[in-house]
Chains A and B, each alone.
Chain A
Amino acid sequence: MISRIWIAFRIELKKVLKQRFIYISGAFVLLASLSTLGISAVHKDQSSDYDYVVRATSLTMNWLIPLMTIIFGALTLSAEYTSGALRFMLVRPLRRVEYLYAKILVTVFYAVTLTTLAVTAAWVVIVLKGDLAGVYYGGEVLFTNMEIVRDYALGCLTYLLPLSAAATYAVFLSTVVRNTGTAVGSAIGLWVVFDALKYPLRLEQFMFTSYTEFPWRVFVQHCQGIDSYWRPGIFYCVGSCLAAVLVFLSAASLIFRRQDIP
């Protein structure tokens, strides 16, 4: 099973690399990241330029990359339903769930690639044009550069959880909605609805949509010289994101396995 998923994943990767969308979205992330230079200038002046990374991270990680991941995920199967190419794949020696897992993996891979691009863009700019000297207050070191970088690295790792949840959610919707436009529209629309309803329903701690910003909270607050802690938020983040992955994966597997492919 794993070898077939791996083969399907490699095929999906080759297919994705032939599509313009991936390059356009990559360019978009780079552009968004670099555009924050207009708000937060970076100079070699012995003072840390974490503010630029904070702004670039907020813009790309909090909404742009999740949004693109959702669009990409929602298109994965719905586009093949629409074009009929799904039939080409599903008559091969490959289980439907294996193909589904490969689709989810490639969506996660896409999200991770965009994240890597955004991270690289932000830090290369600051390394080349700015300074990384830790966070000071009144001449006292509050957080060293190493601590800040560690916070960011932990943020990147934690960010994989909401990204995986978003990818699984979007691919699940693309198994349910067979029209590409409707799949993308409903994926974004439902995300917005979930996000809007979580506060009045007091479910914000349990909704995976809350956790695209969470991984960067410690980094952002440390950059501002404020104490911040991973616990207990990290537990809710891990729990709700893993639960979302499990629920959407199970639902998608169940639906996709039983579907007629007309």
Chain B
Amino acid sequence: MSVCIEIKNLTKCYGSVVAVSGLSLEVGRGEALCLLGANGAGKTTTLYAICGLVRLTAGKVLVFGKDLEKDFLNVAPRMGVLVERPSFFDYLTARENLSIAAELAQKEVPIEKALDRVGLLSVADKKVKTFSLGMRQRLGLAQAILTEPELLILDEPLSGLDPEGGREILQLLRSLVDSAQVTIVFSSHMLSEVEVLADRVAILNRGRLLAVERIDSVLSYDESDVEVFLDAPQAAAKRLESLGWAHCTEISPRKLRVRLQNETVHHLITFLVGQGFVLNGVVPRRRTLEEYLLRTMTL
């Protein structure tokens, strides 16, 4: 996979406040990378640095192999940006706002198609000042995808959208990555959307990059933490405690949650069946992004 964005030792200070410190990161073409972290972690500053809205204190950002500060005019036409709380010229209609973006891109773009993709075609000729927060967010996405860019920078792309609308947009964005090989770098606090959209996650904390991990390894099954569905959980728990390598962390009427130490699920099943328990199912627990995030941030 070729590199789309190369961030080298990025540092950004606002006066004495260090927003991002020595961040180095690469994003491949056709990849969706999510920046995760608490408020003030430096996610938005990093996204703004990638799209040229903030000046770097130190370091370099290369987009499509070009230095953003020197070659902005060659990079910008290939990039679509959605900032947090997207703002428009409120006294203009949705169509007029998009036509500004189209005119500056200096190419024929299907404004109707972009509006249709985000479900705003019916209000294309309404002034943006009449739009709700969710409609503004949709319009923000429409202007970002308008020129069919190769790179999308999205700050909280689903913020303000209702669950159904959020799902539609998520599908749209994922399809852009899968079918059009669009690169997406985004930030989000909604971990469920991150799990669907992201290929990799980068965890930031107080301006520093803590970890970068593929989402499928983050969300992998933890075979040392299993849920056992059986007929007599209380009795089974007592027997397991005597073993030393299995600890029950949760007991409910029809289920046990067991943490294994130095032994496999196979051993656990063999033991329980051998003890005469009737097993209805054994499911290794899936790790969650939230756990990964919290664990990484407390390391």
| B46-54, B167-175, B233-241: which lies at the interface | B46-54
Is B92 at the interface (CB under 8 A from chain A)? yes
Give min CB distance, A9 to chain B, whole Å. Answer: 11
Residue of B nearest to A98 (CB): B73
Is A160 at the interface (CB under 8 A from chain B)? no
Is B160 at the interface (CB under 8 A from chain A)? no
CA distance A92 to B104 in the complex (A): 6
Is B277 at the interface (CB under 8 A from chain A)? no
Complex interface: chain A residues within 8 A of B96 (CB): 14, 18
Complex interface: chain A residues within 8 A of B137 (CB): none
Chain A residue total in the interface (Cβ 8 A): 25
**Interface residues in A214-260 (C-beta closer than 8 Å to B):** 258-260
Residue of A nearest to B14 (CB): A260
Q: Which of B52, B89, B92, B105 lies at the interface centre, i.e. has the most chain A CB atoms within 10 A of its CB?
A: B89
CA distance A258 to B69 in the complex (A): 11
Is B162 at the interface (CB under 8 A from chain A)? no
Is A192 at the interface (CB under 8 A from chain B)? no
A95 touches which of B73, B79, B83 (Cβ 8 Å): B73
Cβ A92 vs Cβ B76 within 8 A? yes
Cβ A19 vs Cβ B90 within 8 A? no
| A80-88, A113-121, A147-155, A173-181: which lies at the interface | A80-88
Is A202 at the interface (CB under 8 A from chain B)? no
Q: Which of A87, A93, A258 lies at the interface centre, i.e. has the most chain B CB atoms within 10 A of its CB?
A: A93
B51 touches which of A83, A91, A258 (Cβ 8 Å): A91
Q: Which of B85, B87, B91 lies at the interface centre, i.e. has the most chain A CB atoms within 10 A of its CB?
A: B87
A84 touches which of B51, B87, B91, B143 (Cβ 8 Å): B87
Give min CB distance, A93 to chain B, whole Å. Answer: 4
- B residues near A, CB below 8 A? 14, 48, 51-55, 72-73, 76-77, 79, 81, 83, 85-92, 96-97, 100-101, 103-106, 143
Those 7 A-B pairs whose CB atoms lie nearest each other, nearest first: A84-B87, A92-B104, A91-B81, A93-B76, A260-B54, A261-B53, A93-B77
Known: A84-B85, A88-B101. 12 other contacts (CB 8 A): A15-B91, A18-B96, A84-B86, A87-B81, A87-B87, A88-B89, A88-B97, A91-B51, A93-B77, A93-B105, A94-B104, A260-B54
- A residues near B, CB below 8 A? 7-8, 10-11, 14-15, 18-19, 83-85, 87-95, 258-262
